[in-house]
């Protein structure tokens, strides 16, 4: 009987050892040792998701998680203590608002707003936005895409009124995609990612329609955060941004 008990105990120990959470088989995924939390402007959703995938592939054991929203909203969250290692903003103003948490930043790309519309309902000129019969939408004025829209509209002498102000550019794109409006002021990158669905008109003052994107690291960030920022600034990272239609940092 004792031999049977000892044998059962030995078998239990073997089974317990085989299921130890500290051991991984050759077929299992690498253990995540570091997580980098990146807060990024909503216009960077697709591009930064791809950059995160490439960074993880080149850095086994590192996981990149994202929070995408309007830059002004993300800045408020960081100021309130949200655990962001990296902040990629669609405007210098939003980055400056979080300067206490992120004292140093670098411009890494640019984008510009355009007047977009469905290909089967073309506008003739930007001035069509002055026509009360044209329903159009833009971002809320305190977020980067809204700030750029206001500057571009003023430069072109547009006095028409949008039917709504949306919280971020993805919401604006959603209104246009759903054909709830005739036109929308969105980023040129959004027009490109939509393929053949949208056409666009450029504002006459490209400089006013353009916004610069800074990226910075939280003062209490994970030590791996700098490596991610370096990747975004690298030739490979910049190519991903250019392929998506973003402009040069300068």
pLDDT tens for each residue of 49-64: 999 999 999 999 999 9
The better pLDDT of the pair 157, 15 is held by: 157
Q: Do 90 and 71 form a contact (C-beta atoms < 8 A)?
A: yes
Confidence of residue 9 (pLDDT cuts 50, 70, 90): very low
Mean pLDDT of 19-47: 71
How sure is the predictor about 222, in pLDDT bands with cuts at 50, 70 and 90? Answer: confident
Bin 53: left if φ > 0, else alpha if -120 < ψ < 50, else beta: alpha
Residue-level pLDDT at 19: 33
Where is average pLDDT lowest: 8-17, 66-75, 158-167, 188-197? 8-17
Give the residue among 249, 215, 208 at the shortest CA–CA distance from 230. Answer: 215
- The pLDDT assigned to 29 comes to 52
pLDDT attached to residue 122: 83
d(CA 42, CA 49): 11
Label residue 197 exposed, middle or buried (CB < 10 Å: 0-12, 13-18, 19+): middle
Most distant CA atoms of the chain, gap in Å? 96
Return the SS3 of 37: strand
Contact (Cβ atoms closer than 8 angstroms) between residue 38 and residue 52: yes
Residue with the two structure tokens 């400089």: 207
The pLDDT, as a whole number, for residue 30 is: 57
State the chain's mean pLDDT as an integer.
89
For residue 183, which of 122, 132, 139 has the smallest C-alpha distance? 122
- Half-sphere exposure (Cβ direction) of 14: Cα atoms closer than 13 Å: 6
* Coil/strand/helix, residue 167: coil
State the Cα–Cα distance between residues 84 and 65, nearest whole angstrom. 10
């Amino acid at each position: 009987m004792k031999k049977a008990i000892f044998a059962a105990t030995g078998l239990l120990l073997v089974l317990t050892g085989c299921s130890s959470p500290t051991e991984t088989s050759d077929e299992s995924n690498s253990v995540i040792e570091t997580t980098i939390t990146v807060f990024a402007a909503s216009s960077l959703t697709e591009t930064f998701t791809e950059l995160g995938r490439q960074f993880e592939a080149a850095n086994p054991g590192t996981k990149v998680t994202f929070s995408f929203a309007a830059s002004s909203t993300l800045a408020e969250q960081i100021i309130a203590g949200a655990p962001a290692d990296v902040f990629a903003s669609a405007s210098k103003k939003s980055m400056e608002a979080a300067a206490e948490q992120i004292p140093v930043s670098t411009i890494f790309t640019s984008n510009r707003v355009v007047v977009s519309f469905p290909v089967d309902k073309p506008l003739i000129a930007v001035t069509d936005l002055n026509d009360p019969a044209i329903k159009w939408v833009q971002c809320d004025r305190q977020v980067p895409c809204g700030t750029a829209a206001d500057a571009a509209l003023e430069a072109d002498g547009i006095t028409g009124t949008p039917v709504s102000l949306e919280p971020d550019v993805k919401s604006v794109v959603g209104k246009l995609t759903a054909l709830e409006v005739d036109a929308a002021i969105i980023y040129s990158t959004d027009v490109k990612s939509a393929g053949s669905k949208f056409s666009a008109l450029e504002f006459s003052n490209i400089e006013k329609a353009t916004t610069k994107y800074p990226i910075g690291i939280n003062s209490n960030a994970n030590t791996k955060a700098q490596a991610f920022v370096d990747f975004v600034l690298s030739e490979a990272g910049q190519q991903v941004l250019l392929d998506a239609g973003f402009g040069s940092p300068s």
